[in-house]
Each structure stands twice: as structure tokens, then as C-alpha cells.
Structure 1
Amino acid sequence: MSDDVTEKMRAIIAEQALIDPTEVSMDATLEDLGIDSLGLVEAVFAIEETFDVQVPFNANDPADSAFDISNVQSMVDAVKALVAQKAG
């Protein structure tokens, strides 16, 4: 399941960055990929829809969110935790 989450996350992020998912490096920041605040919000919506989870994200103050957006790997790890929490 972990690889599936990673690949889906790379696809979501790539869509916002308008690049191929294979170009999404796990240590890249959203800024590195050219994703702005609107793209981030759209990515959060896509994550919630794709994984059927509620992302603890504050669009008004992303730095104050419980969802770590520091790089792609941290976002993948956060989504894996949300999916595992949902599974019980």
C-alpha cells in the first residue's frame, strides 16, 4: 500500500506542477516544483478526494497546519499516517 500512496501522491503533485510524475523528487519542496498557494490548496482537495481522508490543513496559514508540507516526502508520510489512522 505504501508504494501506491507514494505514486498517487506524486501524480497529484505532478498535476499541480504541470510535470510528469517521474519528475517529482521526494526531497523537492512545492516551491521547487513551482506550486503556488492555490496549487497547494487544489492538491489538498485532491488528496482528500483520492484517499478519502480529512487533511488538517489551514489554507490561511499553511505554516500553522498540522499537515507537513515542507517537501514531497513529508507530505507522503503525512498522507500515509492519515490513511493508516482511518484504517484503524
Structure 2
Amino acid sequence: MTDTIKNRIKEIIAEQAMLEPDQVTDESTPEELGIDSLGLVESIFALEEEFDISIPFNANEPSKSEFDISNMGTIIAAVERLVAQKAA
């Protein structure tokens, strides 16, 4: 299931960045993908809707949130954690 989540997250982010999913790597930052702050908010809303989760409103402040948006790997890990918590 984790690969499915990871692939879907990459598809959502790629769509926002107008890229192909294979261009989104775990090391990619939103800035490197050309995603501005508004695009990031739209991506977060899309992730919340897709996985029926709530991403903390302070995700853009890593020191105040467990949801780290610094790169795709941390975003994927955080979404997977929220999905697992919901399923538990």
C-alpha cells in the first residue's frame, strides 16, 4: 500500500507542478519543482482530499509541525504517517 500512496502523492504533486510523475524525486523540493506557496497550498488540499486526512495548518513551519514540507520524501513520509494513524 505504501508504494501506492507514494505514487499517488507524486502524481498529485506532478500535476500541480505541470511535470511528469517520474520527474518528482524524493529529494525534490517544492521550489525545485516550480511550486510556489499557493501551489503548495493547493497540493496540500489535494492530498487531504485524496487520502481523507487533515494536514496541520502550520505545515509550512517545520519547527512547529510534525508535517515537514521541505522535500517530497518528507511529505510522502508525513502523509503515510497520517494515513496509518487514520487506519489505526
Q: Normalising by structure 2, what TM-score?
A: 0.92
Which string of whole-angstrom CA distances, capped at 9 and with x for unpartnered residues, describes residues 14-64 of structure 1?
Answer: 0111000111011010001010000000001000000000111337xx125
What is the rounded CA distance, in whole Å, between the counterparts of 1:9 and 1:23 in structure 2?
13
What is the alpha-carbon root mean square deviation over aligned residues?
A: 1.3
What is the rounded CA distance, in whole Å, between the counterparts of 1:21 and 1:58 in structure 2?
26
Q: Which residue of 1 aligns with 2:13?
A: 13
Q: Mind listing any 5+ residue stretches in structure 1 that lack a counterpart?
A: none
Number of aligned residue pairs: 86
Q: Percent identity?
A: 52
Q: Which residue of 1 aligns with 2:28?
A: 28
What is the rounded CA distance, in whole Å, between the counterparts of 1:55 and 1:74 in structure 2?
13
Q: Mind listing any 5+ residue stretches in structure 2 that lack a counterpart?
A: none
Q: Normalising by structure 1, what TM-score?
A: 0.92
AA partner of residue 45 (structure 2): F
